Chain A
Amino acid sequence: MVLTMQRYVSIFLTFARACLVRDMTFRANFLLECVTSLGWMSMNLAFYLLIFTFTSEIGRNTGWSKEPFFAFVATGLIINSIVQALFMPSAEELTEMVRTGGLDAVLVQPLDAQFMLSMHRIDFSSFANGLVGVGLLGWAVSRMDHVPSLVAWLLYPLLILCGVVILYSLIIMLAAATIFLGRNQSLYDFWFYLTNFSRYPAEIYSGPWGGPLRMLCTFVIPILLVVNVPARAIAMPLSGEAWGLIAATLIAASASLVISRLVFQAALAKYRSASS
């Protein structure tokens, strides 16, 4: 088991090294990607700052005042940058691999196909947003009235990991759909629509439509747990409700991983390949 883990870490580092070498080969492209990504993020941050010139809190009595909300945004940036850097490029490439038969070469290698297909391309430029997220988190936490406890700081990386696992599982299931359908070019669009729900505090989903939507996005497709739970752990006191959500996040992450694995295996068994 340890040897297997060592081997997979070693292969991942080889992928990472090769991707870095490739990125450095096309330096202008790499820098442009960083600038585009940072530009998009800056516009979003400016938009949120604009909102806080009109209001002091997102929702009434939700606790999401300016600094806690920016801790929320920072958490989202960190999680999304990890997912965008490690998994999204490979998932996007999978669509083409299924359509052209490039997946064949992966299936003949003595390696877990899910590992290979979800981690062979790494987009280092996406880590730029994550680094800004870490800075933003530091800024927001230092200005918050609430001081996070040691337990909250210990839980935070674990919950970030859970968020990444939930998003990764969603990507894997969307990628599996590519194998079933033979072509799924809307993968990235669908991903964007789904993850859009995770970018705002869960409290905004209230009322006759918002309530059921919140339940759906918490317990069926646990997308609302991804950013909300780690952000709440760091930005607000750990109340009884918070512990319940933390437990739900741990369960959701484990269940998502298992279900996505089963779906992916079923998809691979149905793979038809493409004509040569």
Chain B
Amino acid sequence: MHNSNRGGAVDTDGAAVITVDSLAKEYRVYDKPEGLLASVTGLFHRTSRLVEALRGVSLTVGRGEFVALLGPNGAGKTTFLKLLSGIITPSRGTAHVLGHVPWERADDFRRRFALVMGQRNQLWWDLPAAESFRLHKEIYRIEPARFERTRDELVDLLGVRKLMLQPVRELSLGERMKLELVAALLHEPEVLFLDEPTIGLDVVAQHTIHGFLKAVQAERRVTVVLTTHYMKDVAALCERVVVITHGSILHDGPLSEIVDRFTTHKIVTLDLDATPSPGQMERFGFPCEIRGPRVTLRIDRTRIADVLPEILRSESVRDVSVEDVPLEEIVATLFRAGAAPPMAEATA
């Protein structure tokens, strides 16, 4: 599927940093049948499938944007980041990042971006992070004074100065991820690709990283593309959200638009004086939960302005709150409503 939705691109500094047109990636995967006999047969005759990891995706990202890629597991988010960072080559389509074709792997391009993968350690495991930073300085040809200034700024911002001299294998996941971020930003990249940077982290570490990324992005005008499964990351950091399912873009636009576009209800929570009788609240909306005098109703967005005054008139209400459907719920619905399954063809 070719997705031509580019309306979400906000060219904040008047320049497109990432342009992607009809980008597709297919893999041939070989089936491994179960059992010894089938395995032996498989030595001589294998069946394969063509998996479409990405199906003609198009989008544009402006300088200084913070874009979230959302999608279920296997949707193609990480494949997309790997294509944009030049790790793999596409089957079809074109992409330009900072004016370069990523998979040509020009040094000038690779000096200007960074990739952080939450599930992979990129620092030297047995050595303190300071050693990895020193190597980074050599690889990226960072001037000594600039290197020290940037490193000090970053470690202070994340509060990890003391951890720099401790072997990486002795650090917690959260501490390690903070140092991974420092390493990635030492050469002051213009584009930052983050693949699930907060995966497995506790809420305190998540919060610290959110604050850090916000500060870095605001101060340095870094263009950030983030993949995540945590809606807290998205809500805290990203104005623009691209939802990918089965290798295609399902939605590309501001976060608030997802709520407007994909929800038809609001969640109204009421604290009544007494427990309502059965069926008493159903005339206002769908009762999601009734726990004593506390009632949670799902009410059509178009009716909310009419229904709410009616509730306040006819019921003894001590407290009321009106909220959007939780983002997680909206996104889960979006994922379920995704495109066709990824299998394209099967060959023997």
Contacts and interface: CB of A to CB of B under 8 A. Distances in A.
Interface string B127-144: 100010011001111000
A14 interface: yes
Contacts of B111: 110
A149 interface: no
A269 B89 contact: yes
Given A276-B78, A276-B120, A108 B87 contact: yes
Nearest to B82: A273
B177 to A, nearest CB: 14
Given A7-B141, A109-B110, A276-B119, A104 B135 contact: no
Q: How many residues of B sit at the interface, in one of the four size bands?
A: 20 to 34
B113 interface: yes
B87 A107 contact: yes
A143 interface: no
Contacts of A272: 27, 88
B115 interface: yes
B131 A21 contact: yes
A108 B84 CA distance: 10
B317 interface: no
A14 B137 CA distance: 10
Q: Which of B105, B119, B195, B196 has the most CB of A within 10 A?
A: B105
A197 interface: no
Main secondary structure of the interface of A (DSSP, over half): helix
Nearest to A18: B131
A110 B127 contact: no
B117 A276 contact: yes
A246 to B, nearest CB: 37
A22 B127 contact: yes
B137 to A, nearest CB: 8
Contacts of B195: 276
Contacts of A180: none
B107 interface: yes
A50 B168 CA distance: 49
Interface residues of A, number: 27
A108 B127 contact: no
Nearest to A26: B126
B138 A102 contact: no
A61 interface: no
A110 B110 contact: yes
Contacts of A104: 82, 87, 115, 117, 120
B71 interface: no
A271 interface: yes
Contact of B138 (A11, A105, A108): A11
Contact of B139 (A18, A109, A269): A109
Interface in B288-346: none
A107 B86 contact: yes
Contact of B127 (A7, A18, A273): A18
A63 interface: no
B287 interface: no
Nearest to B141: A7
B98 to A, nearest CB: 13
Contacts of A273: 82, 87-88
Contacts of B78: 275-276
29 contacts: A7-B138, A10-B138, A11-B135, A11-B138, A14-B135, A18-B124, A18-B131, A18-B134, A18-B135, A21-B131, A22-B124, A25-B127, A26-B126, A104-B82, A104-B87, A105-B117, A107-B86, A108-B85, A108-B87, A108-B113, A109-B110, A109-B140, A110-B108, A110-B111, A271-B88, A272-B27, A272-B88, A273-B82, A276-B119
